[in-house]
């Protein structure tokens, strides 16, 4: 089955560049963009299982959009192998329980310097060791183009971890 999040909302079928331009032109607000993004995530995440941590409240209050870069106010996800201040970085594993990061990684700082606003952390393969995202703690993250097509589905007789 193919999953998509496109709906008749303020995001329409815009990409990040056109969302940023619409925010800059005041055609849409950051709050509207974040609400539409949250609605889309909540629509597809039950089928995809792509979120580890949701930071919706921070995004709704534009705490992540503190830099007026080119992509000011456009929501993004941070992969679970990158430190995001105040949140644990589990590297896709349940082997240990990470403490909240004391600061952003250099990559996250660089990403957010463009004006992007984080809306959560996304899943990843356990410790980044395989090419698809299946792990014991969070389960399988499904391919949105075909939810039945993952490494795990192709190799059911062999554990992915």
Structural domain contains residue 7: no
- Closest by CA to 160, choosing from 145, 139, 143, 144, is 139
Q: What is the pTM of this model?
A: 0.84
Residue labelled with tokens 């992007």:
116
CB–CB of 100/135 below 8 Å? no
Q: Strands, E, within 34-160: which ranges?
A: 51-54, 75-79, 117-122, 134-135, 139-140
- Closest by CA to 150, choosing from 141, 161, 139, 159, is 141
Q: What is the pLDDT of residue 60?
A: 86
Q: What is the pLDDT of residue 119?
A: 95
For the chain, the domain total comes to 1
Structural domain contains residue 159: no
- 109: domain CATH number is 3.90.1300.10
CB–CB of 160/134 below 8 Å? yes
Quote the domain boundaries for residue 46: 16-154
Q: What is the pLDDT of residue 139?
A: 82
Q: Dihedral angle at the C-alpha atoms of 56, 91, 16, 43, nearest 10 degrees?
A: -50
C-alpha 136/C-alpha 94 separation (Å) is 7
Structural domain contains residue 39: yes
Q: What is the pLDDT of residue 36?
A: 96
C-alpha 117/C-alpha 115 separation (Å) is 6
Structural domain contains residue 160: no
Q: What is the pLDDT of residue 124?
A: 87
Q: Which two tokens stand for residue 46?
A: 């039950």
H helices, E strands: number in the chain: 5, 5
Residue labelled with tokens 């700082």:
109
Q: What is the pLDDT of residue 3?
A: 65
Structural domain contains residue 104: yes
Provide block-wise average pLDDT over 10 residues at a time, the chain (161 residues).
74 94 94 95 92 91 70 94 95 86 96 93 82 76 80 57 51
Find the largest Cα–Cα distance for the chain.
53
């Amino acid at each position: 089955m193919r999953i998509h999040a496109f709906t008749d909302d303020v995001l329409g079928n815009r990409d990040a560049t056109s969302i940023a331009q619409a925010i800059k032109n005041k055609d849409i607000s950051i709050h509207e963009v974040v609400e539409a993004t949250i609605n889309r995530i909540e629509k597809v995440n039950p089928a995809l299982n792509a979120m580890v941590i949701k930071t919706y409240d921070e995004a709704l209050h534009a705490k992540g959009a503190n830099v007026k870069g080119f992509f000011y106010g456009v929501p993004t996800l941070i992969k679970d192998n990158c430190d995001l201040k105040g949140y644990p970085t589990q590297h896709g594993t349940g082997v240990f329980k990470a403490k909240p990061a004391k600061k952003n990684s250099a990559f996250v700082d660089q990403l957010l310097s463009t004006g992007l606003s984080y809306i959560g952390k996304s899943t990843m393969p356990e410790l980044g060791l395989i090419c698809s995202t299946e792990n014991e703690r969070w389960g399988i993250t499904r391919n949105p183009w075909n939810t039945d097509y993952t490494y795990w589905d192709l190799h059911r007789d062999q554990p992915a971890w």
